[in-house]
Structure formats: C-alpha cells, structure tokens
C-alpha cells in the first residue's frame, strides 16, 4: 500500500506542475459547484414545491370564495322568488274575490282550476301566465 501512495503522490505533483495554477482553481470551483449541485437542486425542488403549494392554496381559496358567492346568489334568487310568489298570492286572492263565477272568465277558470290542488294555486298560475 505504501508504494501505491508514493505513486499517487508522484502523479499528483506531476499534474500540479503541468497544469497552470488558474486551471486548478477553475477545476476546484467546478468540482465544488458540481458537489454542491445536488444540494442546490434539492433546495430548488423544495422552493418549487412551496411555490406550487402556495398556488394550490390560493386556487383553493379562490374556488371556495366563488362557491360561497354562488351559494349567496342562489339564496338571494330564492328570496326574490319567494317575494314574487307572495305578491302573486295577494293578487290571486284579490282576483278570486273579484271574479264572477258565472261569467265566461269565471266558468273558464272553474274548468282550469280542476287540474290544480287549490283554486289559489290555479289563480297564481293563471296570473303568472298573463304577466
């Protein structure tokens, strides 16, 4: 083993003499960069993973906000429909009180209302179709 170490030492000194000092510093820099590359690659991978997670989190927050807005819009539309229905109920009650059951309109309405559970519902549908 001792002879191998001597040969190795001789080769190293020969290489040092052949290569200029600049090349040695450049190769040392390249070697240190190459050896640190896996570390920086994993650091870059970690940073990319964090950025990706941030974007995914932001996308999820935007989607959640959009779903909430859609739900609020749906609730608002239901409230509007309920108000409209209440208004139609009032109009239908007034119309039912005013219609003469023996008039042509009253007789027609009696036949029309047979297919509905109540005359009020039939009157609501009749008024809705006339809007």
Q: Is residue 4 part of a domain?
A: no
In the chain, helix, strand, coil percent, each to 5?
90, 0, 10
Q: Is residue 19 part of a domain?
A: no
In this prediction the pTM is 0.51
Q: Is residue 18 part of a domain?
A: no
**Domains in the chain, number:** 1
Q: Is residue 14 part of a domain?
A: no
Domain boundaries, position 35? 29-130
Q: Is residue 1 part of a domain?
A: no
Q: Is residue 112 within 8 Å of residue 122, measured between CB atoms?
A: yes
Report pLDDT for 76. Answer: 96
User: Does pLDDT of 2 surpass 60?
Assistant: yes
How do residues 12-63 score in pLDDT, each as one tens digit? 777 676 555 555 555 555 455 555 556 677 888 899 999 999 999 999 999 9
User: Does pLDDT of 6 surpass 80?
Assistant: no
36 token code pair: 């640190």
Using pLDDT thresholds of 50, 70 and 90, give the confidence band for residue 4.
confident
Report pLDDT for 15. Answer: 65
Q: Is residue 9 part of a domain?
A: no
Q: Is residue 102 part of a domain?
A: yes
Cα–Cα distance measured from residue 125 to residue 67, given in angstroms and rounded to the nearest whole number:
33
How do residues 55-101 score in pLDDT, each as one tens digit? 999 999 999 999 999 999 999 999 999 999 999 999 999 999 999 98
Q: Is residue 11 part of a domain?
A: no
């Amino acid at each position: 083993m001792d002879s191998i170490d001597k040969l190795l030492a001789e080769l190293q000194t020969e290489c040092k003499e052949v290569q200029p000092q600049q090349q040695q510093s450049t190769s040392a820099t390249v070697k240190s960069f190459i050896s640190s590359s896996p570390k920086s690659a994993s650091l870059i991978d970690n940073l990319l993973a964090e950025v990706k997670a941030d974007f995914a989190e932001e996308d999820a927050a935007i989607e959640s906000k959009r779903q909430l807005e859609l739900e609020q819009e749906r609730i608002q539309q239901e409230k509007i429909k309920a108000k409209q229905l209440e208004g139609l109920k009032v109009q239908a009650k007034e119309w039912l009180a005013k219609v003469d059951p023996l008039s042509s309109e009253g007789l027609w309405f009696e036949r029309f209302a047979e297919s509905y559970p109540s005359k009020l519902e039939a009157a609501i549908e009749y008024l809705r179709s006339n809007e």
